[in-house]
């Protein structure tokens, strides 16, 4: 019996996945065990941006070790079609106000069109504030993935 491997995705398919999805999972090294959490992300000019609340476990883990794995996927309910991308790299805080503002505005724009206001709690916001509350004037911490050392992009057989 031969081993069947998932086919690698073409670069165009990877780009489409990154552009069309809005939620990812980030795996941190953790203390005793890895720690994984979902994040809304912005994909702008080939870069992935994430909003971190200024409190909690994720910030502590990021400060201890900025190396992460980011996973983004899509699939049909019966799994006749599926694909995923895993990018291993480092997260760094975005200090440039223009870059930071662009990422925040992108997340707010996409969120207002595709996500429930219930998801605003993940950004530390009340849903009654609406997506316009996710704006660059507020002290949101934005990080971006850099120094990607490995990209794994696999999908269902065609």
Segment 90-123, tens digit of pLDDT: 999 999 999 999 999 999 999 999 999 999 999 9
pLDDT for 125? 93
Q: Would you list the domain boundaries of the chain?
A: 11-155
pLDDT for 72? 97
pLDDT for 55? 74
- pLDDT higher than 80, residue 56: no
pLDDT for 112? 96
Tell me the CATH number of domain 11-155, given options 2.30.110.10, 3.30.70.580, 3.40.50.2300, 3.30.465.10.
2.30.110.10
For the chain, what percentages of helix, strand and coil (3-state, to nearest 5) are there? 30, 35, 30
The answer for 154, left when phi > 0, alpha when psi is -120 to 50, beta otherwise, is: beta
pLDDT for 109? 96
Cα–Cα distance between 121 and 125 in angstroms, integer?
A: 5
- pLDDT higher than 90, residue 57: no
Q: Which two tokens stand for residue 8?
A: 């690698």
- pLDDT single digits (tens) 7-33: 898 999 999 999 999 999 999 998 889
């Amino acid at each position: 019996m031969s081993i069947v491997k998932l086919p690698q995705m073409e670069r165009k398919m990877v780009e489409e996945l990154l552009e069309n999805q809005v939620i990812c999972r980030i795996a941190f090294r953790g203390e005793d065990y890895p720690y994984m959490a979902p994040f809304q992300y912005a994909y702008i000019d080939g870069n992935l941006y994430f909003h971190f609340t200024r409190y909690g476990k994720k910030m502590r883990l990021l400060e201890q070790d900025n190396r992460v794995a980011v996973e983004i996927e899509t699939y049909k309910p019966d799994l006749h079609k599926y694909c995923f991308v895993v990018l291993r790299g480092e997260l760094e805080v975005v200090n440039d106000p223009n870059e930071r503002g662009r990422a925040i505005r992108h997340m707010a724009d996409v969120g207002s069109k595709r996500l429930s206001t219930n998801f605003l709690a993940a950004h530390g916001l009340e849903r009654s504030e609406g997506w316009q509350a996710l704006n660059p004037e507020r002290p949101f911490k934005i990080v971006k993935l850099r120094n990607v050392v490995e990209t794994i992009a696999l999908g269902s057989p065609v």
